Structures are given as structure tokens and as C-alpha cells.
Amino acid sequence: MRRTLASAGSCGIGVASTRAPAVPDAVSELRAALTGELQHIVAFFSVDYDAAELAAGLERAFPGVAVSGCSTAGAFGTSGLMETGVLLIAFPRTGFRIHTGVIEDVGAFGVERAGRMVRDLKARMDVRNGDRLSERVFGIMLVDGLSNAEETVVGAVHWALGDMQLIGGSAGDGLAFRQTSLIHEGRVLNRSAILMMVESEFPFRIFKTSNFEPTQIKLVVTAADADCRTVHELNAEPAAREYASAIGLLPDDLGPFSFASYPLVVKVGGDYYCRSIRNMNPDGSLSFFCAIDEGLVFTVARPKDMLLSTERALDEIDRSLGGIDMVLGFDCVLRRLDAENRQIRRQVEDLYRHYGVVGFHTYGEQHNSMHLNQTLTGVAFGARRGAR
């Protein structure tokens, strides 16, 4: 069904989405749906669209407005969850200032380059005497979800940001795992990342929430290819067979839904973080969304109530802001698959609509220095300008 929906909250951030299959039609509908003076558009799109054609079309449709974005494993907007389509998040000229930098060849990116980029972006900001940038500036990062470099890039950028917070997501290509794309000011980028520094006159809160708890079952990585994020052995046994045995399945029964329902987690600084399985390979090895290495100790986790944990997190933010105006979210694709498997997709859509949550389904989520899986991260904006 072809449909374009648009909305804008009190903070002025516009949201528009379309499922029109042809790029010219999609761009035309999105242009008609978004009004007002815009300064930056963030575009999330499914891989049904040619990235170069879409980037060029958006540049022509919104002259003078910078456009950044990435391909996805799905999106969620005012029309609910979207496996296909284009979602635009349009920041107005009033109340926000956005500064962007592109990180090319993410595999060679490090602390020194991160420091230079962040210093350059800070130099463009409206710095006031006695100003604490962390109270009104945060970073958004979009990164190639198949680069196997997210941890390095996120860690370097977060270090350079100091006390400013960072969120974001890894680009996807549905569940194909072949190639993801980023777009920035008319260009198509691969093995790259985009950093957006957002100055906001509206109150905001950076957050993350997940819905799993550890069990007593441990799996030790005993053979792996760290560069490819592939585990060949767990507990000195073939990886897929050992994982399947741990969760009570046969290897032939493994797939995206079982990976979503039985995540693997690692303990870091007293907290557990997901290191989710991406896919099972023909040789019985397992490929992961996050960095792995030999000697890593996984704990098998079981999910908690996704609706309840997400609602509690959003309700707490709503109270702290005196009312959420809208939320830009980065939600793991495995959370969507788990919601579908448990037949709560409609309830998730209703919950996101209630709190104004829009964004995309990722191959990984960024939260400050961490690259995560099976997590919802994001930034929530309040409606009261200058309330800080």
C-alpha cells in the first residue's frame, strides 16, 4: 500500500514516511509532506531504493537543506513499523543547529582522526561563556553495519567528545547482510560513518533500554576469527551445535527468531551487554553483529517483557522532561523479530506512537562508548524550548 504520513511536534522536528516503491514518487510525496524552514534532514531507507538515485532526488527536492542518512533493516514512523519505505526526520532552522562530519574508511579510523573531527565540529558551534556543551549538544552516529569497525569508531569518537553524549545506529540491508549504504549531501558512502553534532534549544535525554536477563549457562569462545566476527567453536565444540544445545534446539532449527529469543551477553563493568548472533554459516560457525574474540565468555540470556521494560523506560523519561515531544530511536532488528515472534508487533507500534518514537531498525546500536545489540537507544526531546 502506498501512503505518506507526516507529523511535527512542538519542538518543530518534522517526520514523514512513504512506502511509494519508485524513487521519484517517494521523493515527491515526502517533499509535499514536509513544510517550513528546514536545516537538516536525516533519511532512513530500505534497500529497495537505489541509494544514489534517492540521495540525488532528496538533494533536488530540498535545495539548501543538508541530507544525511542510511539504509536500514526496517524503520518505524507515524505509520508504524516499516520493512520497506523511506522515513525522513526533518530538523527545523529554529531551535536546532546541526554540524556534520564524514568518516571514510572506518577501518583506519582512530583517536587522532576523531579528535581532529570533533574539534572542527566544535569550532562551528555557538559557544557561550560558562557554557557546558554537554547540556545542549549531543552526537548522532550512523555507521556501516557490515564494516566490523563499529567498536573502534564509537570508542574513538566518544573519547573525543568528552562529556557530550553519543547515540546512533548501524546501517542495515534488511536481513541480507551483503551491503549497506550511507548518504551525505548527495554522496553515497560505504565503509564509512557520519557524525552529526546537534545543538538543541529544547531539553533532551539520551537513553538506552533492553529486555533480557542472564541465565547460569556459560559459553566460552574457544576458536574464532575476530576480524570477521565469526565464532567457530564454543566450549571446544562446533559453535552452532553448542549454542543450539544450550538453548534446547537442534542446529537446523537455528535462525533469526531463535537468535532474537536467546541472545548471548557479556558482562562489562557490572552490566550485561548483548553480543548478538547475526547468522549461522554453512560450516556450523556463527557470525556476530558485535566484536568477539577467543576467550570471551558468553552468558545465555532470556528475554523479559519487552513492552513493560520499554514502557517503563519511556515513562521515566517522559516524567523527567515534563512530557516527551518526540523520540529519535535506534532499535535493534532482533527486537523487531522477537516482537513478531511473540505476536506483540501491534502493541509495540502502539507504544511507539504514544511516545512519538521514530527511527530505524539497526544492525547495532551506539550508546556513548558502547556498540550494542538487542537494545533501543535514542534521544527524547521535550517540548519546552529553553527549559534547561
Q: What secondary structure does DSSP assign to 245-301, as a single string?
A: HHHT--GGG-SHHHHHHS-EEEEETTEEEE--EEEE-TTS-EEESS---TT-EEEEE
Last residue of a domain, which of 245, 276, 303? Answer: 303
* Distance (Å, whole) CA 212 – CA 301: 6
* Distance (Å, whole) CA 189 – CA 105: 10
For residue 42, give the nearest of 165, 129, 169 by alpha carbon.
Answer: 169
* Distance (Å, whole) CA 213 – CA 227: 28
Q: Tell me: do 190 and 233 sit in the same domain.
A: no
* Distance (Å, whole) CA 49 – CA 56: 12
* Distance (Å, whole) CA 239 – CA 74: 29
Q: Tell me: do 337 and 355 sit in the same domain.
A: yes
- Report DSSP letters for 91-107, one per residue: EESSSEEEEEEEEESGG
Domain with 217, as residue range(s), is 212-303
Here the CATH number for the domain that contains residue 284 is 2.40.30
Q: Is 60 exposed, middle or buried (0-12, 13-18, 19+ CB in 10 A)?
A: exposed
| Residues 96-133 pLDDT 10s | 999 999 999 898 887 888 889 999 998 898 776 667 88
Q: Tell me: do 119 and 203 sit in the same domain.
A: yes
For residue 87, give the nearest of 39, 145, 20, 177 by alpha carbon.
Answer: 20
Q: Tell me: do 53 and 163 sit in the same domain.
A: yes
Sheet holding 66-71, edge to edge: 4-8, 14-18, 86-92, 38-45, 66-71, 182-184, 187-189
What is the residue-level pLDDT of the chain in tens, covering all 388 positions? 344 556 666 789 999 999 999 999 999 999 999 999 999 999 999 999 999 999 999 999 999 999 999 999 999 998 899 999 999 999 999 999 999 999 998 988 878 888 899 999 988 987 766 678 889 999 999 999 999 999 999 999 999 999 999 999 999 999 999 999 999 999 999 999 999 999 999 999 999 999 888 999 999 999 999 999 999 999 999 999 999 999 999 999 999 999 998 999 998 888 888 889 999 999 999 999 999 999 999 999 988 899 999 999 999 999 999 999 999 999 999 999 999 989 999 999 999 999 999 999 999 999 999 999 999 999 999 987 654 4
Residue with cell 522515513: 87
Q: Tell me: do 12 and 97 sit in the same domain.
A: yes
- Report DSSP letters for 181-194, one per residue: -EEETTEEESSEEE
Q: Tell me: do 296 and 320 sit in the same domain.
A: no
Last residue of a domain, which of 270, 287, 303? Answer: 303
* Distance (Å, whole) CA 321 – CA 383: 8
Number of domains comprising the chain: 2
Q: How far apart are the first and last CA of the chain?
A: 42
* Distance (Å, whole) CA 239 – CA 251: 10
What H or E segment, with its residue span, contains residue 207? strand 204-210
Backbone angles phi, psi at 91, to 5 degrees: -85, 130
For 49, 93, 241, 383, the CA distances from 122, given in Å and listed in that order, are: 34, 19, 50, 25
Q: Tell me: do 56 and 67 sit in the same domain.
A: yes
Q: Tell me: do 356 and 325 sit in the same domain.
A: yes
* pTM (2 d.p.): 0.92
The single-letter DSSP state of residue 108 is G
Q: Tell me: do 273 and 287 sit in the same domain.
A: yes
SS3 345: helix
| Residues 140-194 pLDDT 10s | 999 999 999 999 999 999 999 999 999 999 999 999 999 999 999 999 999 999 9
Q: Tell me: do 101 and 245 sit in the same domain.
A: no
SS3 89: strand
Contact 44, 68 (CB under 8 A): no
Q: Tell me: do 87 and 148 sit in the same domain.
A: yes
Q: Tell me: do 76 and 184 sit in the same domain.
A: yes
Last residue of a domain, which of 285, 303, 321? Answer: 303
